Amino acid sequence: MTPTRYAFVKASWHADIVDRALDGFYQLIPPEQVDVFDVPGAFEMPLLSRDLAATGRYGAVVAAAFVVDGGIYRHEFVAQAVVDGLMRAGMDTGVPVLSVSLTPHQYQETEHHKQIYRAHFVEKGREAAKAALTIGKTRAALAA
């Protein structure tokens, strides 16, 4: 039987934006079914996601981050490493590990951009919840 609890891992960088994904997730999956874990940044998500998935307690693990060009390193490399690591965590454990890790080409710390991405993260959180529920239903049907 597929567990009906979900793990939600979220990066603390840009929390005012990233946390909106959890708001969207809660629109379809009640908070009582979700364990929330904070990590410093996106790069720390794959390891914790793998560890959470390996417990067998969760029907899916969702990881949310906002990776932007900070001018210090190539954010595309970080984003690729994160997405690859999340995919590997799911494949290694057999538990869906879903990404709400977004990397915009253009982001500026303006209120206009913040509003756009906050709204986008709510939608992406809903999409992650739909994916988690759909995958769980499909896997349950396969097991029957």
Tell me the binding residues for 5-amino-6-(D-ribitylamino)uracil.
Answer: 13, 42-44, 66-68, 99
Residue 14 DSSP class: T
Q: Which value, to the nearest 10 degrees, does the dihedral of the CA atoms of residues 123, 57, 136, 95 take?
A: 90
CA distances in angstroms from 139 to 136, 143, 144, listed in the order given: 5, 6, 9
126 is catalytic: no
User: Which among 74, 88, 126, 139 is annotated as catalytic?
Assistant: 74
* Alpha helices (H) in 38-110, listed in sequence order: 45-54, 75-93
Q: Which residues does residue 6 pair with via DSSP β-bridges, in sequence order?
A: 34, 60
- Beta-sheet strand order (sheet of 6-11): 34-39, 6-11, 60-66, 97-102
Catalytic residues: 74
